[in-house]
Structure 1
Amino acid sequence: MTTEFQTDASVSKTNMDTINIGNRLKAKRLELEFDERHVATALKIPIDQVRALEANNFKYFRSVTFARGFLKSYCRLLGIEPSEMLRAFDSELEDAEPTIKPVDKVNKQTNFGDPIVIFISVIIVAVLVFLVFWWPSQPSKIVSPNEIKNEVSETATAPDLDATEEPSNESSDADDISNVSSSNASADVDAASDSDSEGSANSDQVEKTANNGGVVTGLSAETMAILEEAGVRPEDVVRATAEVPAELAAAPKMPSYTDEVEIAFGADCWTEVRDASGKILFSGVKSAGTKLSLTGKAPYRVVLGYAKGVSSLKYKGEVFDFSSFTHKDLARFELK
């Protein structure tokens, strides 16, 4: 009994394998007198896919699922039982050679002979060589925190060095003065007292000028000494800074226009102009060759019944283009 069952199964499998799917589809289609375009339209697929099914070229389709679905739909269209055809389709796919490559073959595709690997390696080597030969040639100076502190301290103590030099000069001058006669010494003392009184008077005057309006803008003692050595009077400097240049004191520039809105008409045009408060500044027909000049509170709302009748429109002395606000010779716009 087992032998008979195995024999029947082998026979059914042989019959299934001998089924030529494409030939049966094409023979049934010709029997029903269907052309390829009729089948393609009914199945909503291209004619090339219909031909692929009849030629058993199932690899033409995007995937096995698509090929199996189109085959099933084709069988139903022709009135063929799809189960037997689908079994033959599945058995053909089982006998087909697998298209997926083993992992070891895929890994062998990437090797050192690959052009991409060679190109990347050349770029990396070139970058390394460039860094090796170029980087040492660049001057690199690392500034330590101690050097920064020394520079800051030298900058801060520079004026003190000048100040320390002055006493030495004064001491040498005092030694020279000690060798002069008492009469000359007394005369020098009197002259020094007079210069000191003059300096104090000048400093008082500078401080008074500098404290105008409660804002201290006076010159320091060091600045005054430098100006005196250069032959410049400190009070002249303060007076010059307090004066306002004539250019700054000039009167503000007056506008070049008389009225804010100026309209010239080349043809008859109904015109209405309102200001920001809604007040009608003008409403009526302006004839050709006339002008309309208005001044009110901006913005102005302007309506031109016949825009082509306006030859020019100026707002605050500048020409205003209202062509983009015109529709069928009617213009509505605002002047802000």
Structure 2
Amino acid sequence: MATDENSQPAMREPVGRQLQKAREASGLSVSDVAGAQHLRPSVIQAIESGNYSQIDSELFLKGYVRTYAKQVGLDADAVIADLDQELEPIRQQREQEHEANPLVDIERRRRRKRQLAKTLIFLAILGIAGYLAFALLVPEPEAGGVQSGASDPADVLAVPDSGEGAVSGQSVLPGALAESGNLGTSEEPNVENPVAEDTSPGPLTEQIPAVVETPDPALENRSGLAEATDIVRLQISFIDDCWVQVSDATGKRLVNALLRNGDEIDVSGQAPLRVVIGAVDAVESIRFQGEPLDLGDYRSVNNRSEFSLTI
């Protein structure tokens, strides 16, 4: 049993305690360390006391700790490795809180609705395209029907001077026979007039434009598909050092870096954009979709702000 206990590695001190001891050995105060990182002294005190919940973003916490370790002469990589072990329980707790957040469920539903809308639009376009192809490629049977119908009255009126033929002529074209005045004579004019009237292509040609004009809705649907995704633009300029992280709706990180005095970012992504600013007072200006924003409208804790931007 003693051998097993001796083989286990000894527990290292918490990261905050390591940094505090190194700071005191270097003769630095909390204000000295905070001033070098452009942070409030309360942030350094929270790191030394292990109260990491005061710093919401793990990215900024690691950045602060790494800079702090280098400032007091510690191995930054070793300190970050110890910090990862301490943060594991906090990560699990935050993950549970994130899954329980109702806003996360709302965002999932929005994404599903967007995907469903894209699918329905795509299916509608396919349906219209198939209908147009069928209407334009399949021969139209109405044309043959008109030709056969035009020959029937001529056949009826061409019957010799029999009584049955005259009666049939009266029942089919009474107006034309009445003008002739004689059922047995003047058959040729009677044949020409009804044939000219019956073979008029007016009813048929009026139906054709209704099929040809249908491509316009298909073009409108194609443009609607292209507008289903909202791409937005964010611009920020800085007057001091500041950690910045920007992610779009798909989870893609557009910015994840430490910006310096005079730096600017100009990114675009799918709305909503999730923005994390580590030092609010280091931001000179911020514009969303070309419009200026006031960071005072967003909640700030320890000179740090986290918010979402959407149309």
TM-score (norm 2): 0.32
Larger RCO: 1 or 2 (CA < 8 Å, sep 6+) = 2
Which structure is larger by alpha-carbon Rg, 1 or 2? Answer: 1
Normalising by structure 1, what TM-score? 0.30
